[in-house]
Structure 1
């Protein structure tokens, strides 16, 4: 049984913007699945529809075999968490890291706050000294580590990753991706990763879906991506455009 199943998903904004058009895919438990395409292809909207932040006009999203209703129930957000693209915008500038990490625990009724906060910071490579700092006192990479810690603190089964390194300097992108890779292995997590960067997808994902103009164009395995075995013209164009990419090396 798939951990996440998206069936004939359509997302329409207003009366004229058909952002996602009949997209379907399945993600197995423990798999890292990529969605790639140019800006405006609808890839981030798919993630937002899964977590209930974008309206599903038709189609279905299932988690662990059960169809999801709108609005999503609180238990869903314990099991499925999202990491957003911009660590500068996703953290409240006037909240300490302690408060950032405490809020989801309070919302979901966890009582072992101290242990979970310290463990979450340790898991992402930040020590206790970061706990009472403010976001402006952290680097971009440290902020994204806090965002990842916030997603992990409820011990979810699925992480939805929306361009998690695109706002970071190239020098620290690999560090964050390697951190995410390690956490997935240690915890047996399921990832859905959105990116426009084929190097990131090749580094992180076993399979990927190529999107264009809101539609699914082609599904590839990592091996087929690396062998340039695309069958659709749009996918081949993406590969040609990224001809200079190299697989990311471990930091």
Structure 2
């Protein structure tokens, strides 16, 4: 049996007596791309944030590489291994800092010496040249900003990426480009992905398995192949399929 890279066990997250997560358990295998789907408020982004140490865990366990994480505290070793890409690329980048400085910051925090090589490699990997280094976020398109956010996540050479609706703020044509980029990066680096999305077409294109969430609970677990074939046990999941426009599994356009 393959040991899970990331797992949660009976996880509960509470905000002012409201249970945002209620007894949630998932297991994500090394090198797997795992999807979390559900309507707004279902708890999928809260689960991602709990793993990252950004949501208050009331009870339950989170494990990363067989290490149990306690509360919200995460050390530097965790953040070298686990990085997150947020939904809004403009909101996640500092508007008054150059791209160069924002890529240097995580390297400085972690005491990584070969900054020049890593910056150039990261920019090249996301399809941007060195000419972008000294621009500011407002000088970039939405797709370029999200590529920078991905480059910043990759620059520490993590093993796990947490992706919170990474393309939902982008135009449809740019979404496909960014999804293809993420898929290529995962293959090249053998990364583990946990991806949140409300779009079942995106999830079935990107992910091997998925958990369907409703009201803070996992209501169904299935493979993308089962979802596409209609081998579904819950009416809620069927309704999500109907609500997801143009639902289909096929390669995104280049």
Q: Give the TM-score category using the shorter length.
A: over 0.9
Shift of 1:163: 0.1
Match of 2:38 in 1: 37
Match of 1:169 in 2: 171
Contact 1:20/1:46 (<8 A) preserved: yes
Contact 1:228/1:239 (<8 A) preserved: no
- TM-score (structure 1 length as normaliser): 0.98
Match of 1:250 in 2: 253
Measured on the aligned residues, the alpha-carbon RMSD in Å equals 0.9
Contact 2:6/2:27 (<8 A) preserved: yes
Instruction: Find the aligned partners of 1:151 and 1:249 in 2 and give their Cα distance.
Output: 23
- TM-score (structure 2 length as normaliser): 0.97
SS where residue 220 of structure 2 aligns? strand
Unmatched segments (≥5 aa) in structure 2: none
How many residue pairs match? The answer is 250
SS where residue 167 of structure 2 aligns? coil
Moved more, 223-232 or 139-148: 223-232
SS where residue 19 of structure 1 aligns? strand
Shift of 1:88: 1.2
Unmatched segments (≥5 aa) in structure 1: none
Instruction: Find the aligned partners of 2:65 and 2:103 in 1 and give their Cα distance.
Output: 27
Shift of 1:231: 0.3
Instruction: Find the aligned partners of 2:124 and 2:139 in 1 and give their Cα distance.
Output: 18
Give 2:202's match in structure 1, choosing from 190, 200, 203: 200
Give 1:81's match in structure 2, choosing from 61, 80, 83: 83
Shift of 1:243: 6.0
**1:200-243 per-position Cα deviation (integer Å, ceiling 9, x unaligned):** 10110000000000010000101101111110111111122236
SS where residue 34 of structure 1 aligns? strand
Match of 1:116 in 2: 118
Instruction: Find the aligned partners of 2:245 and 2:162 in 1 and give their Cα distance.
Output: 27
SS where residue 88 of structure 1 aligns? coil
